[in-house]
Chains A and B, each alone.
Chain A
Amino acid sequence: MTVSTAPPPPAAPPAPPETRRQRRRRERLVARDSEIPVELYGLPRGTITLLTVLAFLFALFTLIPIAWILINSTKTQANIFETFGFWFASPFQFFHTFGLLFQNVDGYGTFIQWFGNTALYAVLGGGGATVLAAFAGYGLARFRFRGSRMTFYAIIGALLVPITALTVPLYLSYAKAHLINSIWGMVLPSMISPIGVYLMRTYADISVPRELIDAARIDGAGELRIFLRVALPLMVPGVLTVLLINVVAVWNNYFLPLLIFNVNTKYPLTVGLGLWSNRAVNSGNANLYPMLVVGGLVTIVPLIALFLILQRYWRGGMLLGSIAN
């Protein structure tokens, strides 16, 4: 990313661009160098094997439900209950059930619509939250204005207030303001993420040097331009982490949509699947349990994929840096 206001670097012979493989190798070498060789610990023989086995057992515990949902997404309702849970059984029904996700099977809603709703809420709410948090975090980290301290304390205070205790009041206000069943009732509160602002402030504080901002000011750049062209590029890893946290928070949000939506065309996936788990018990429809299983699988796949893709940008350490302040 280019920083237009920074002075051009002194002319140096351009280094040949690093290939992807070279970069990976360098990163791995650096990582290895920072680790202490295991031999130095003087561990009794077999310790590594024992610890690997323990890690394997916990990985098994972690993967059991995932394996179960993968395997059972191929089964009929009778087979889900009657056959061994961790092996396949014929007939193979995955595509049949998957097709049903595009229909309104028992009149209680269509999965694919819930999927679209969730994506919409996550993009608008999670994206909006990240934009607001980046602006506010930078503002709090690099400006001292009247009330900036108060604002920061209010944000910390908001972290303590339980979501349940905020959501019920929100629901009561919506009932008064006729915002029940409005998508804005879902999207707008999702855009307010105190933890996002908190993390962005911390990240802006470490990653954007004051001198750079001052230099840009002397060059005559406006504050907004400085933020967008100088500060924001430096904040990218932090912004991506906050984006991930916010999107996941909206994608997984259950309590707010459960309260504020009472028509199934507005439901996100979480509320829709919760409803199905209730319907599956009560209705005689033999497709609902398989749809619940396949629907659950389709719900988690995009998020797991997003995580694996964004893993290298994940700055879990941000959550820590923040306490030192």
Chain B
Amino acid sequence: MRSSWVHRRDRRGVWFVAPFLLGFLLFMVVPLGYAIYTSLYTSRIIGGTVFTGASNYTQTLGSGLFWSGVIRVVIFAAIQIPVMLAIAFFFACVFDLGVAKFGTAFRTIFFIPFAVPAVVGAVMWSFLLEPQFGPFTRLASVLGFPNTNFFSPNLLLASIIVIVIWEWTGYNMMILYTALKSVPRDVVEAAILDDTPLWKIIVRIKLPLVRPAVVMLVFLNTIGALQLFTEPQILEYFEQGAVSVNYTPSYYIYQTAIAADETNLAAAMAVILAVIIVVISALSLIVRRRRGEFA
């Protein structure tokens, strides 16, 4: 039983949380509520804004343009995240075991892109991949692939995957590295004394112990990947016509809200995108919790 004295003390905690909570309500909950409200209306040139119920939702859900963007970011996530996490885990292990020279220097270098804004990262890569003069285009031509266009429909998604891998691998590696560092030393030592080969120690002992970190990274990266926006938008600025208006759902929402000025429709699309992402992440949480993976 907690005494009433403790209880009174505890209530004062509200004042520590209140400022944040006020901002949270004003800048997250209220706008979200307003978006849901406004998504139920439609503005017409004649007749003004009228209540149209679910019509913006049915229009979005029936739109092939919207869904093709959703499918594209799902494909993007399905390739980019495993490749990035494999590289990040590999180097996290290498640095954790200390089996490469200059580990500290490499770790610092790998982490640098995290400090580079996505806009600047995308601009730099646009220059490097530029179809006429870009150094990578020239390199491809020297290697026997003349007229390579990294911004063509065939290669655009691959180019974006490379850019995003460049941006985020170091950050993911640092988190995995920190997790690996917390694996108890005696467990590994015992395995070594048993003559367990190194790869087995990594796969059988270390990987299971850092699984929560891997799961969290899959989760955070998925949320990020499904909202892909900055890189395609900058590429489109740089190479006009390379990126279609519906390339990713976020980009399509932006185009609908700003360029087409259909804010009610954009609000409905934003709500649908939020629901898709929340459902995907919540599902992965539930499945993992059932399997006892997510603590």
Contacts and interface: CB of A to CB of B under 8 A. Distances in A.
A48 B102 CA distance: 11
25 contacts: A41-B97, A41-B192, A59-B109, A65-B121, A66-B112, A85-B134, A136-B16, A145-B13, A160-B281, A161-B277, A165-B227, A168-B253, A169-B270, A172-B263, A175-B263, A176-B34, A189-B27, A248-B114, A259-B258, A269-B117, A277-B234, A299-B120, A306-B115, A307-B115, A324-B295
Contacts of B20: 132-133, 135-136, 192, 197
Contacts of A3: none
B110 interface: yes
Contacts of A323: 212-213, 215-216, 294-295
Interface in B159-181: 166, 169-170, 174-175, 177-179, 181
B189 A36 contact: yes
Contacts of A188: 23, 26-27
A108 interface: no
Contacts of A107: none
Nearest to B223: A162
B9 interface: yes
B30 to A, nearest CB: 7
A209 interface: no
A248 B295 contact: no
Contact-residue size bin, chain B (C-beta under 8 Å from the other chain) = 35 or more
Interface string A44-63: 00011001101110110111
A22 interface: no
Contacts of A255: 229-230, 250, 254
Chain A binding site: helix, strand, loop or mixed by DSSP?
helix
Contacts of B110: 58-59, 62
Contacts of A139: 13-17
A169 B34 contact: yes
B99 A47 contact: yes
A42 B200 CA distance: 13
A124 interface: no
Chain B binding site: helix, strand, loop or mixed by DSSP?
helix
Contacts of A283: none
Nearest to B113: A62
A215 to B, nearest CB: 14
B111 A307 contact: yes
Interface stretch (B53-61, B75-83, B124-132, B145-153): B124-132
Contacts of A175: 263
Interface of A: 34-36, 38, 40-43, 47-48, 51-52, 54-56, 58-59, 61-66, 68-69, 72, 80-82, 84-86, 132-133, 135-136, 138-140, 142-148, 151, 154-155, 158, 160-166, 168-173, 175-176, 188-189, 191-192, 194, 197, 217, 223, 227, 248, 251-252, 254-255, 258-259, 269-271, 273-275, 277-278, 281, 292-293, 296, 299-300, 303-304, 306-308, 311, 316-317, 319-320, 323-325
A273 B119 contact: yes
Contacts of B124: 65-66, 68-69, 296
A191 B278 contact: no
Nearest to A59: B109
A304 B115 contact: yes
A199 to B, nearest CB: 13
Interface in B69-121: 87, 91, 94, 97-103, 106, 108-121
A163 B270 CA distance: 10
B12 A143 contact: yes
Looking at B109, B119, B132, the one whose CB has the most chain A CB atoms below 10 A away is: B119
Given A172-B34, A172-B263, A299-B120, A281 B238 contact: yes
B198 interface: yes
For the complex of A and B, 8 pairs with smallest distance between CB atoms? A143-B13, A139-B16, A169-B35, A165-B274, A85-B135, A169-B31, A136-B20, A278-B237
Contacts of A143: 9-14, 16
A65 B135 CA distance: 11
B240 interface: yes
A163 B254 CA distance: 13
